[in-house]
Amino acid sequence: MFPGADQLTKGNVSEGVWLLTGPPTSGKTSYVVQFLYEHLQEQKTCLYVITDQSPSHHLQLLSKHSKCNLESLLRIVDAYSWRLGEKDPAATWSANGLSLGEVSIVIDKARLDMQNYAFALDSITTLSLEAGPAATYKFLQVLTARLRKDHVPSILTLEEDVHPPNFVSMLKPLFDGIFEMKSTERNDEVEHQFRIASLNTEHYTSKWISAENMCVDNISRHWSEPQTRQNMNSTETAVICR
């Protein structure tokens, strides 16, 4: 249930807490949306923590492509709209991203009665820039341990180059494996690629594959990633499938 992973492993990667890294506009948010879409199509509940964009934007895209009842299957923790001083109607729960203690409490409340669900957080980078790396690391220590204990398939994103190398090195052991995404330009077109950088259990290959091969019903054709980082200097649109 992790898009693309089955093409690079000998087994089916259906569980684990995964870190997805890549530069801005490499397709990370598109991947997360695809991950949620695949679980929702299987009528599995999903918990989505959003820090970079309005929940309404995400819900609009999923509603357009998914035939399932999103109201009953998808729970959104909005850690974005506090910046605007308002609540997003698409969010099930809201939290102030400056307080990771509050975010943790809200996540626990949101998942209290959830079983057999999938989890996504986009992104760790925003939380770290707002709350600080030390608080973010402690937050992730607890969160990843709880997700692993409950066997929740999970994906969390990170813009690796934004952070000091020692912070990234501390984070990676918290996860069962690392996915990477990148963009390459070929014949004046941008191609998004995906690979498994590390994996604790399965036999795998670390070769790059085209992200086009991971699409289900082409949900990501109309998806563009947020441009929220202060150091973003690219204006290209990130689209997994074209």
Reading the chain (242 residues) residue by residue, the pLDDT tens digits are 777 777 787 766 768 999 999 999 898 998 999 999 999 999 999 999 999 999 998 888 888 777 788 888 999 999 999 999 999 999 999 999 999 999 999 999 999 999 999 999 999 999 999 999 999 999 999 999 999 999 999 999 999 999 999 999 999 999 999 999 998 887 778 888 999 998 876 688 888 888 876 654 445 444 444 444 444 333 222 333 32
CATH fold of 19-222 reads Rossmann fold (3.40.50)
Judged by DSSP in three states, 104 sits in helix
Residue 90 Cα distances to 53, 71, 130, 186, 188, angstroms: 12, 9, 23, 38, 37
Distance between start and end Cα atoms, the chain: 22
Residue 50: exposure state from Cβ atoms within 10 A (0-12, 13-18, ≥19): buried
Q: What share of the chain is helix, strand, coil (3-state, %, to 5)?
A: 40, 20, 40
H or E element that contains 60: helix 55-65
> 192: which strand partners?
183
pTM check: above 0.75: yes
